């Protein structure tokens, strides 16, 4: 079984989080060999982005979700470091503005979907509308419970229009989150990341876990799969995400387009 197969969530699967150990590294060992493999994956991801831009036939949407301190920012910083910023945009979806609240919950996300040839990374996403909206009862149950199917249709629409959708749930343990919060409290360069809401949400850990179980079960589809990334070890998180992205793009069998003119007739003086 490939790493991609091992971490992919089967459609309709239940009890998903219990089957994934946040400490698991799937036989990969930390060290120089792993670091070399990660560097190779990042370099290959850069080459594949260039090829996708040249081909102009498809786009890539990367969705990152996870509990607070799961490593979404770190994943973007370490894995996407090789991507050309001209063709890559990161979108962070915070509390909706008045204009965004006046539209449907997918409106602001659809506006951020990348054009063909480009990559977009959603640091949190429209899934917050079945996570935080559910846990904190921001909307009634009939509203958020209807959104799973709306999300599935939205993602199917995107894939039918040449957008590759890859979704990662960065899976950390509650103990690991506590240690990362403690490290941030001690580090003056990271204290700015904290807010009282982080500690309040920690008291809702079990409720978020149930909400994520439903997301993974109901919204992992053949066209837009979820991958659960054991993320207690940051080095393995980065390796797994980069490996899956490379495999996903390799499977597209992209080709450089032919020149639009006869280059044999060009002469340089």
Q: What's residue 262's pLDDT?
A: 87
Which sequence spans correspond to the domains of the chain? Answer: 3-256
Q: What's residue 48's pLDDT?
A: 97
Residue of 169, 175, 236, 166 lying closest to 26 (CA atoms): 236
- Give the CB-side neighbour count of residue 123, counting CA atoms within 13 A: 16
Retrieve residue 85's tokens. Answer: 């910023």
Residue 150 phi, psi (nearest 5): -65, -40
Q: Could you tell me the pTM of the whole model?
A: 0.96
CA 97 to chain centre: 23
Q: What's residue 62's pLDDT?
A: 98
Q: What's residue 267's pLDDT?
A: 87
| Residue corresponding to tokens 């659960």 | 228
**Stretches in the chain below the pLDDT threshold 70:** none
Q: What's residue 13's pLDDT?
A: 94
Q: Which CATH architecture has domain 3-256?
A: 3-Layer(aba) Sandwich (3.40)
pLDDT, tens digit, 9 for 90 and up, residues 124-180:
999 999 999 999 999 999 999 999 999 999 999 999 999 999 999 999 999 999 999
Q: What's residue 260's pLDDT?
A: 86
Retrieve residue 143's tokens. Answer: 């509203």
Q: What's residue 213's pLDDT?
A: 97
Retrieve residue 155's tokens. Answer: 């993602």
CA distance 132 to 139: 10
CA distance 130 to 214: 9
Contacts of 33 (CB under 8 A, 6+ apart): none
CA distance 200 to 113: 31
């Amino acid at each position: 079984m490939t790493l991609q197969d091992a971490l992919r969530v089967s459609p309709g699967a239940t009890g998903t989080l219990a089957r994934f150990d946040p400490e698991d590294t799937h036989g990969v060992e930390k060290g120089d060999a792993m670091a070399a493999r990660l560097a190779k994956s990042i370099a290959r991801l850069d080459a594949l982005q260039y090829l996708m831009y040249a081909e102009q036939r498809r786009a890539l949407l990367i969705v990152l979700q996870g509990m607070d301190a799961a490593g979404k920012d770190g994943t973007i910083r370490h894995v996407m470091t090789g991507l050309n910023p001209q063709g890559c945009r990161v979108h962070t979806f915070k509390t909706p503005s008045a204009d965004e609240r006046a539209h449907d919950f997918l409106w602001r996300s659809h506006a951020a979907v990348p054009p063909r040839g480009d990559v977009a990374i959603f640091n949190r996403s429209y899934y917050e509308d079945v996570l935080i909206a559910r846990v904190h009862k921001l909307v009634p149950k009939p509203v958020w419970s209807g959104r799973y199917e709306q999300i599935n249709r939205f993602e199917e629409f995107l894939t039918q229009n040449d957008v590759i959708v890859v979704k990662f749930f960065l899976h950390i343990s509650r103990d690991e989150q506590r240690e990362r919060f403690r490290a941030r409290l001690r580090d003056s360069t990271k204290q700015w990341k904290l807010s009282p809401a982080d500690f309040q949400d920690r008291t809702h850990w079990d409720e978020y876990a149930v909400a994520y179980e439903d997301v993974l079960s109901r919204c992992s589809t053949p066209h837009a799969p979820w991958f659960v990334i054991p993320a207690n070890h940051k080095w393995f998180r980065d390796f797994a995400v980069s490996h899956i992205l490379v495999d996903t793009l390799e499977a597209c069998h992209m080709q450089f387009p032919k020149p639009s003119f006869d280059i044999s007739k060009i002469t340089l003086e």
